[in-house]
Amino acid sequence: MSNPVLVEVLRGALVESRHRGAVAVVDADGGTTFTLGDIETPVYPRSAVKALQALPLIESGAAERFGFGDEELALACASHGGEPGHVATAQRMLAATGLDEAALQCGAPWPSHSASARELARAGQEPSALHNNCSGKHAGFVCTACALAVDYRDYISPAHRVQREVKAVIENLCGLRLADEHCGIDGCSAPNWALPLNNLALAFARFGSGHTLSSQRAKAAARLRAACAAKPWHVAGTGRFCTEMMQHFGSRVFVKTGAEGVYCAALPEQGLGIALKCDDGAGRAAELIMAAMITRFLPEADRSWLGRFLQPRLRNWNGTAVGGLRPTEVLSR
Amino acid sequence: MSNPVLVEVLRGALVESRHRGAVAVVDADGGTTFTLGDIETPVYPRSAVKALQALPLIESGAAERFGFGDEELALACASHGGEPGHVATAQRMLAATGLDEAALQCGAPWPSHSASARELARAGQEPSALHNNCSGKHAGFVCTACALAVDYRDYISPAHRVQREVKAVIENLCGLRLADEHCGIDGCSAPNWALPLNNLALAFARFGSGHTLSSQRAKAAARLRAACAAKPWHVAGTGRFCTEMMQHFGSRVFVKTGAEGVYCAALPEQGLGIALKCDDGAGRAAELIMAAMITRFLPEADRSWLGRFLQPRLRNWNGTAVGGLRPTEVLSR
């Protein structure tokens, strides 16, 4: 019942560390195309489902009412680095409703983009909730509440109208009733429901193709995908895997990271959804596994560009090459 | 052949992530007291062997010649956070030889202690090699070279006199010839030889007791342990596991972290050495496994204080309790 080793970390001639994980690749009818490991046990998708959590922002009419363009919609799907452009976009979303960062209940950590954190410190400032990597998602929740004409203030409660809408959307896409006992609290305080990788992959196959969804929901999904493809920097930030993938592939690949080693993707041309989790929560391994999955299901011509994500080199503080990561045979064969 | 799951990460009611690992607990004669998983395959000890790498600093006469006290010796064994007091101590070590940070070849990252990194940025400064977590070790290498009257400049080469001394010391303590093909380059550019956990634990049993060592080497080990017990803040820093353990237990527990999930300890009263590695390199799990080992081998009366390290709670940006870590049955039974 243990998941296979999918990624090895090398130093010199030896394997220094190992990462296990599970992967599900599913089509929009729920047909399983490829699996590795246990895809049945519920896992918390964390931020990997932000694009699904953003569907009510479109469906409620909030995005249209507040005049949101690609940047705002991409940020609603984002785990951003808290770079200045991310912060400004979140601020703009809230300002459209007449609110500011005091409306956000995500907490106020320093930006995860370290140069931006240092820049903030250099300017003698402290972070606000706008710097939280989830500020776009939370601004989206607030805007959705405003469009639904409900009090936004308790928007992170699972009982709040916005979260009930989010839950219903995810249940529709993943083809599963989400269990209350599988509801955890995310790093940003929003509810997060655990579900099997199998169903998570199904949700992204449907998110990518619209297949089996209502035409309104299929359109909302297409709008979010188009926004992320147009503004991939807003989905993550400088040098980040999600951003680099979508900058390169545009609307052909939608990809989103989640904490604790989760990654989800939609490949609309192939009609596939991908969901994976690294057992130990390591983001470095989750990225490599996702790169391997994109390589596997995209046409041959796209593969050479992906090579550097499959064999990333590790350099030390002096820039000396000391090792690297590589997929194991079970992942790459 | 897979190592057992030793630590589980919980969110809400579910296990979100899992960490596997191996542990060896050995006495100074090489008698095995306790093991979990594979303790035969070589692992890179990384910074967990800094105290062993610092033995030539004493044995060469450098520490005495340059008038080093507890702070300097503790810093030579340290993976410090780059807090101002750490930086000042490294600077003092180099100044004693008439040198400065230009002599260090460890690279110049931002301090790992994030408040210190922001303070540096706030002051409009950039980090130097003194801020590298290994600056004390490197300063120790430079001072050793000076005391041995050899050119210090190439001190990170495995062929340099200082590294040959380091290698011979580790071979003596671990009871094993270190293989050239098992030599990797550490994050700080110093050579790092992989060895089985079994032998690594033996080295720390001997480091803690002096048993089987020459009287000069046993004295040098005792001097370093006394320095770390007297100045545990210099070994790691504010809020760090190594510092908290040695602040609490003093000379009864010597403990040192290494990158990629390694931890080593000496329990002098019990005559035991401990070496462990988390398969995936996770420090959060390595700390918990070490806390479980200290709990297991220290007297009953010491155990209650260790409880919070065995069941650490996870809080999100708002301070809400969202989950925690716990030892699995195989670790705690």
Q: Which residues pair with B193 in a beta bridge?
A: B183
Question: Would you call A315 an interface residue with chain B, using a CB distance cutoff of 8 Å?
Answer: no
- Do the beta carbons of residue A208 and residue A266 sit within 8 Å? yes
The H or E element that residue A323 is part of is: strand A321-327
CA distance B41 to chain A (A): 10
pLDDT above 90 for B34: yes
Task: Please state whether beta strands B321-327 and A262-267 pair in parallel, antiparallel, or not at all (unpaired).
Answer: unpaired
- Do the beta carbons of residue A292 and residue A310 sit within 8 Å? yes
- Give the list of residues 6+ apart from residue A55 with CB closer than 8 angstroms, or none: A166, A169, A217, A220, A221, A224
Question: Would you call B233 an interface residue with chain A, using a CB distance cutoff of 8 Å?
Answer: no
Q: Cβ B188–A316 below 8 Å, yes or no?
A: yes
Interface test with B, best of A14, A41, A178 (most B CBs within 10 A): A14
Which DSSP category does B312 fall into?
P
- Do the beta carbons of residue B113 and residue B83 sit within 8 Å? yes
Q: How confident is the model over B297-324, as pLDDT tens digits?
A: 999 999 999 999 999 999 999 999 999 9
Q: How confident is the model over A188-232, as pLDDT tens digits?
A: 999 999 999 999 999 999 999 999 999 999 999 999 999 999 999
Q: How confident is the model over B101-150, as pLDDT tens digits?
A: 999 999 999 999 999 999 999 999 999 999 999 999 999 999 999 999 99
pLDDT level of residue B333 (50, 70, 90 thresholds): confident
- The whole-number average pLDDT for the span B155-171 is 98
Question: Would you call B185 an interface residue with chain A, using a CB distance cutoff of 8 Å?
Answer: yes
Structure tokens at A98: 């007449």
- Do the beta carbons of residue B293 and residue B36 sit within 8 Å? no
| Alpha-carbon span B196 to A301, nearest angstrom | 44
Q: Which chain B residues are within 8 Å of A192, Cβ to Cβ?
A: 11
ipTM above 0.90, yes or no: yes
Question: Would you call B44 an interface residue with chain A, using a CB distance cutoff of 8 Å?
Answer: yes
Structure tokens at A116: 């931006």
| Alpha-carbon span B274 to A281, nearest angstrom | 26
Structure tokens at B320: 């809400």
- The whole-number average pLDDT for the span A46-58 is 98
Q: Which residue has the tokens 């990561």?
A: A325
Structure tokens at B128: 């130097």
pLDDT level of residue A1 (50, 70, 90 thresholds): low
Q: Which residues pair with B17 in a beta bridge?
A: B9
Which residue type sits at A305? Answer: W
Provide the CA B242 distance to its chain's centre, in angstroms.
Answer: 8
Structure tokens at B221: 């080990």
User: Residue A86's CB: how many other CB atoms inside 10 A?
Assistant: 29
Q: Which chain B residues are within 8 Å of A156, Cβ to Cβ?
A: none
User: Residue A173's CB: how many other CB atoms inside 10 A?
Assistant: 25
Q: Which residues pair with B93 in a beta bridge?
A: none
| Alpha-carbon span A248 to A223, nearest angstrom | 19
Q: How confident is the model over A260-284, as pLDDT tens digits?
A: 999 999 999 999 999 999 999 999 9
Question: Would you call B117 an interface residue with chain A, using a CB distance cutoff of 8 Å?
Answer: yes
Alpha helices in B175-316 (DSSP H): 197-209, 215-230, 232-235, 241-249, 283-297, 303-310
**pLDDT, mean over chain B:** 97
Q: How confident is the model over B173-209, as pLDDT tens digits?
A: 999 999 999 999 999 999 999 999 999 999 999 999 9
Distances (CA, A) of B217 to B51, B53, B142: 12, 12, 20
B residues 135..174 contacting A (CB < 8 A): none
Q: Which chain A residues are within 8 Å of B181, Cβ to Cβ?
A: 13
Structure tokens at A263: 């990654």
What are the two backbone dihedrals, phi and then psi, of residue A261, each rounded to the nearest 5 degrees? 80, 25
The alpha carbon dihedral of A241, A246, A247, A249 has a sign of positive
| Alpha-carbon span B173 to B198, nearest angstrom | 12
| Alpha-carbon span B289 to B7, nearest angstrom | 7
SS3 B327: strand
CA distance A210 to chain B (A): 30
- The whole-number average pLDDT for the span A177-198 is 97
- The whole-number average pLDDT for the span A85-97 is 98
| Alpha-carbon span A111 to A86, nearest angstrom | 10
Q: Which of A204, A200, A105 is nearest to A162 (CA)?
A: A105
CA distance A89 to chain B (A): 21
Q: Which residue has the tokens 């090579």?
A: A307
| Alpha-carbon span B271 to B205, nearest angstrom | 6
Q: Cβ B14–A44 below 8 Å, yes or no?
A: yes
Task: Please state whether beta strands B195-196 and A183-185 pair in parallel, antiparallel, or not at all (unpaired).
Answer: unpaired
Structure tokens at B83: 């807090």
Q: How confident is the model over A292-319, as pLDDT tens digits?
A: 999 999 999 999 999 999 999 999 999 9
Q: Which residue has the tokens 């979260």?
A: A163
Partner-chain residue, chosen from A105, A106, A194, that has the shortest CB–CB distance to B14:
A194
CA distance B82 to chain A (A): 14
Question: Would you call B197 an interface residue with chain A, using a CB distance cutoff of 8 Å?
Answer: no
Transcribe A107-161 into DSSP letters: --PPPSSHHHHHHHHHTT----GGGSTTHHHHHHHHHHHHHTTS--TTTTSTTSH
Q: Which of B93, B64, B11 is nearest to B323 (CA)?
A: B11
- Do the beta carbons of residue A253 and residue A229 sit within 8 Å? no
SS3 B332: helix
pLDDT of residue A27: 96
pLDDT of residue B154: 96
- Do the beta carbons of residue A235 and residue A246 sit within 8 Å? yes
B residues 72..111 contacting A (CB < 8 A): 105-110
Question: Would you call A119 an interface residue with chain B, using a CB distance cutoff of 8 Å?
Answer: yes
User: Residue A80's CB: how many other CB atoms inside 10 A?
Assistant: 32
Partner-chain residue, chosen from B14, B117, B316, that has the shortest CB–CB distance to A188:
B316
| Alpha-carbon span A152 to A27, nearest angstrom | 36
- Do the beta carbons of residue B253 and residue B37 sit within 8 Å? no
| Alpha-carbon span A297 to A310, nearest angstrom | 14
| Alpha-carbon span B148 to A181, nearest angstrom | 65
pLDDT above 90 for B218: yes
- Give the list of residues 6+ apart from residue A88 with CB closer than 8 angstroms, or none: none
User: Residue A102's CB: how many other CB atoms inside 10 A?
Assistant: 9
B299 CB-contact burial (10 Å; exposed 0-12 / middle 13-18 / buried 19+) = exposed
| Alpha-carbon span A60 to A287, nearest angstrom | 33
The alpha carbon dihedral of A237, A239, A245, A248 has a sign of positive
pLDDT of residue A160: 98
Which residue type sits at B127? Answer: P
The reported pTM is: 0.98
- Do the beta carbons of residue A325 and residue A314 sit within 8 Å? yes
User: Residue B65's CB: how many other CB atoms inside 10 A?
Assistant: 13
pLDDT above 90 for B1: no
pLDDT of residue A333: 83
- Give the list of residues 6+ apart from residue B22 with CB closer than 8 angstroms, or none: B3, B35, B36, B37, B38, B39, B197, B276, B277, B279
Q: Which chain A residues are within 8 Å of B288, Cβ to Cβ?
A: none
User: Residue A58's CB: how many other CB atoms inside 10 A?
Assistant: 24
| Alpha-carbon span B73 to B174, nearest angstrom | 22
| Alpha-carbon span A49 to B116, nearest angstrom | 34
